[in-house]
Chain A
Amino acid sequence: MTRRLLILAGLLALAACKREQREVRLDPPALDALDQVALMPNGIGGAPPDVLPALGRPYETNAYQLSQGKRLYGWFNCTGCHANGGGNVGPALMEGWWRYGPDVQSIFASIRDGRPHGMPAFKDKLTTEQIWQLAGYVQTIGTYAAKTAAPTRNDEMQSRPSESRGPAGADIAPPSR
């Protein structure tokens, strides 16, 4: 009985590991297909590439991919314009209001192709997969619903966790000083 339980627990643990899975190298055809975003004519919304759901939307749900995105956020100077989500030269990302669409393919297109009013294009600086990682992470900055994988707005210089990590519906007041 104990043995069976152990095996069951082991299987369950393995199943839970999908969010921790590290896909370090994608099949080249899958990688190519990841670039095929079908946006609406205004450059917003539309459909993500078919391969994304087929892969299980790893860039929005997988801890490894999200944390890679978080590292890229710092390395590619996103912080310089969007701060740690609160905005500066660029708009805030954490308020959950997206000028160019909240879905991950819109965010992907914003990073890849840039947007008017100053958002530069990163298509020559990042690989397609890196842009997806970054887009997945950027979406979590403005997400107020819980995610199974943690990375979200950077807690840099804060004395409290970011809003999306608090209990659901908790209204966290701004710091007093």
Chain B
Amino acid sequence: MVVLTPFPHALFALDLSRPGAPVKWRFVPEADGGAEGLACCDTINAGPVIADGKVYFNSLDGHTIALDVATGTMVWNVRTASLDRGETLTGAPLIADGKIFIGNSGDDFGARGWIAALDAQSGHELWRRFSTGPDDNVGIGPGFQPFYAHDHGQNLGAASWPPSGWQHGGGSVSGTILFDPVLHLLFHGTGHPAPWNPDQHDGDNKWTSGLFARDPEDGMAKWFDQIDPHDLFALGSAEPGLAIDRDWHGAARHLLIHPDPDGYVYVLDRANGQVLSAAPFTTVNATRGVDLATGELRRDSNRASRFGTMTRDVCPGWPGATAAHSAPSADGRLLFIPVSRLCMDMEARNVSYIEGTAFVGANVRAKSPADGLRGALVAWDIEAAKPVWTVPEPFPLAGGVLALGGVVFYGTLDGWFKAVDAESGRTLWQFHAASGIIGDPIAYRGPDGRPYVAVLAGLGGSFGMVAKSSIDKRDATAANGLANALQDLPEPSDPSGTLYAFGLP
């Protein structure tokens, strides 16, 4: 088993065949400490990936690194992101087709989003496509067939911005990148437009806050669906969701199930980008549903953030109604969504782009909803577009969900690792870890043939950084306003990370 720690990274390989899982090798890359000042949401990383005898990972300071999984020796190390431009790497690489696909982070520092493909053998860059700018930068050519009319046009990645706004426009590819071997397509989301102050990015801000389908060979776009044109609340759509093939109202379809930070579960046909269904899975008051004929998100003009005004009680608030990985049930009928129910007050302010500094332009104060329940695990019936059951949680769920057999595993910010019944949501088992959990649980079969569930406990990320000693919670705007809503987040009894592995019966 390979474990990657937050920046400055260390990669540990654990030998599971020996008692106590001793460290087989460790690898500590050279680190540029300056990257810490560019990590909007703490120095976390989505993790390493193992394929064909190599382990690949991205470092926060902009390197993609390949190691020999048996010995821990470095095979190659390429610089793929530029800290000078505000870019960092927090996502996990995707390995498919002999290529490695990576995307950047840095929306809050005015970085321009991109996705790149590297050769898995050499680390040589094969192509790179941006989320903003002229069509040739974005990878838009004759093969680009978006489903909705408002995504048709020339050079929209530049024309739907104020002059030169796209050059610092965000739209990072910080989430998971999906590969679909059936349709032979890549799917990825794009982050929010920069800065937060919406009056400084007039227009639809293509191609931010939406979903791309691309050809893995050359990165050319197949379709794009803008979930949130002119994103007012910096929520973005970085996580594409899950590719599931199942019946949809009687006909077999290739679906993309996308729970968005704006509070809706979108069901798309991933062959063409058509939105088949969009329904809210939590309290939403900033928008009033999605018009399926035009793909348009209907906004509530009373809750539109504008320069110079304070917009109160916007739900969902930053960083969105869900910011972690959902999981499907074994039959593909249900989706288990980790939910944040926070709302926010937001005041948009002018900001100038200064290289290497935060490009935000907003004062934000996050708030608990009226009932005080700041999180939930929602079991969502995909076809009926309604919740089946909900487990309320005192804190937002920042980590991912693992569904295994009839059991759903998830961790909480206050350190509980829980197993609930997939049919009813009833708690079957829980364990209190030494720290809050923001990681995704994983399942594996050990060398002894026994199934295990493992999770890394360690508080961090957008929510977890509130508990850091460098944050003073008396300032309501600290940690992008989350300090205000998470005043009572307990400090972990152990500030370091702990790996827990549980044997299953």
A residues with CB within 8 A of B: 74-77, 79-81, 83-92, 94-95, 116-120, 125, 153, 156-158, 163, 172, 174-177
Closest to B40 in A: A89
Contact B479 A83 (CB under 8 A): yes
Of the residues B38, B360, B471, contact of A92 by C-beta under 8 Å: B471
Of B202-210, B242-250, B345-353, B431-439, the stretch lying at the interface with chain A is: B345-353
Hey, what's the 0/1 contact readout for B470-486 against A, CB within 8 Å counting as 1? 11111111111101100
A79 to B356, CA, bound (A): 13
Cβ 8 A contact of B475, one of A94, A118, A125, A177: A94
CB of A118 within 8 A of CB of B35, answer yes
Q: A174–B474 contact, CB under 8 A?
A: yes
Complex contacts, B474 vs chain A, CB 8 Å: 86, 94, 163, 172, 174-175
Whether B357 and A81, one on each chain, are in contact in the complex, defined by CB atoms closer than 8 angstroms, is yes
Q: Is the CB of A88 within 8 A of B34?
A: no
Q: List 17 A-B contacts (CB under 8 A).
A: A77-B357, A79-B363, A80-B351, A80-B361, A81-B358, A83-B483, A84-B475, A85-B478, A87-B471, A89-B358, A91-B471, A92-B472, A92-B478, A94-B474, A120-B356, A157-B310, A174-B487
Which B residues lie within 8 Å of A88 (CB)?
Answer: 358, 465, 471, 478-480
Give the complex CA separation of A158 and B361 in angstroms: 17
Name the interface residues of B351-371: CB closer than 8 Å to any CB of A: 351-352, 354, 356-361, 363, 365, 367-368
A115 to chain B, nearest CB (A): 9
Q: With A87-B479, A95-B472, A174-B473 in contact, is A116–B358 under 8 Å at CB? A: no
Q: Which residues of B contact A (CB under 8 A)?
A: 33-40, 108, 310, 345, 347, 349, 351-352, 354, 356-361, 363, 365, 367-368, 465, 470-481, 483-484, 487
The interface residues of chain B lying within 8 Å CB-to-CB of A94 are: 472, 474-475
Q: Can you list the 4 inter-chain pairs with the closest CB atoms, starting with the nearest?
A: A118-B37, A80-B358, A86-B475, A86-B478
Cα–Cα distance between A140 and B383 once the two chains are bound (Å): 57
Q: A75 CA to B349 CA in the complex, in Å?
A: 10
A177 to B470, CA, bound (A): 21
The reply to whether A120 and B479 contact each other, CB–CB distance below 8 Å, is no
Which residues of chain B are near A76, meaning CB under 8 Å? 352, 354, 357
Q: Which residues of A contact B365 (CB under 8 A)?
A: 157
Q: Are A86 and B473 in contact (CB under 8 A)?
A: yes
Per a CB cutoff under 8 Å, which of B35, B347, B352, B487 touches A156? B347
Contacts of A174 in B (CB 8 A): 473-474, 487
- With A86-B478, A177-B484 given, name 8 new contacts (CB 8 A): A77-B357, A86-B473, A86-B479, A88-B471, A88-B480, A92-B470, A157-B347, A157-B365
Closest to B475 in A: A86
With beta carbons under 8 angstroms apart, the residue of A75, A81, A116 that contacts B33 is: A116
Distance between B317 CB and nearest chain A CB, rounded to angstroms: 13
A75 to B358, CA, bound (A): 11
CB of B16 to closest CB in A, whole Å:
35
Contact A153 B360 (CB under 8 A): no
Q: Which residues of B contact A156 (CB under 8 A)?
A: 347, 363, 477
B484 and A77 contacting across the interface, CB-CB below 8 Å: no
Residues of chain B lying within 8 A (CB to CB) of residue A125: 354
